[in-house]
């Protein structure tokens, strides 16, 4: 009986999460920027993350850029969402994104910090390159090894 209840609960939960995920996948396929931008305002973090990552596939948008910038600056936002926002701003080569990412890297968990550094490595600015070089001696071994690779 407990097993049946567990399966029913899991099926219900997966159905609840599939709605916004499918809608964002359709929006990304159709390059519907308005729907992807609205996903950045969703109450669920995984939807905001998916929206931010989906936006990296389309041309830069002013409204999206403002929301992504706010996302990176928000200390209350999940680190993985902030990393996804950093990725999109780096893909769009937004000026000033390097400073935002560098500042946010000290406020997030190690995994999000790694992905922010990966985003930073895409930017070809003096500040971004200098920060990547400074990460080559970081205490996080994975980040330091990747920073050495990115700084070549």
Phi-psi region of 94 (alpha: psi -120 to 50; beta: other; left: phi over 0): beta
CB 120 within 8 A of CB 91: no
DSSP annotation of 140: S
pLDDT tens digit string along 130-140?
999 999 999 99
> pLDDT per residue over 105-123, tens digit each?
999 999 999 999 999 999 9
- The residue to which tokens 């609840």 are assigned: 16
Give pLDDT tens digits for 69-87: 999 999 999 999 999 999 9
């Amino acid at each position: 009986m407990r097993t049946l209840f567990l399966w029913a609960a899991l099926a219900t939960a997966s159905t609840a999460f599939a709605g916004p995920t499918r809608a964002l996948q359709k929006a990304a396929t159709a390059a519907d920027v308005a729907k992807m931008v609205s996903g950045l305002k969703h109450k669920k973090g995984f939807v905001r993350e998916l929206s931010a990552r989906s936006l990296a596939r389309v041309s830069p948008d002013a409204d999206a850029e403002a929301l992504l910038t706010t996302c990176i600056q928000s200390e209350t936002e999940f680190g993985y969402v902030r990393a996804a926002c950093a990725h999109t701003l780096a893909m769009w080569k937004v000026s000033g994104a390097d400073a935002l990412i560098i500042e946010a890297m000290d406020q997030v968990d190690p995994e999000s910090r790694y992905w922010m550094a990966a985003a930073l490595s895409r930017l070809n600015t003096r500040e971004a390159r200098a920060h990547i070089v400074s990460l080559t001696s970081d205490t996080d071994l994975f980040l330091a090894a990747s920073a050495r690779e990115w700084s070549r």
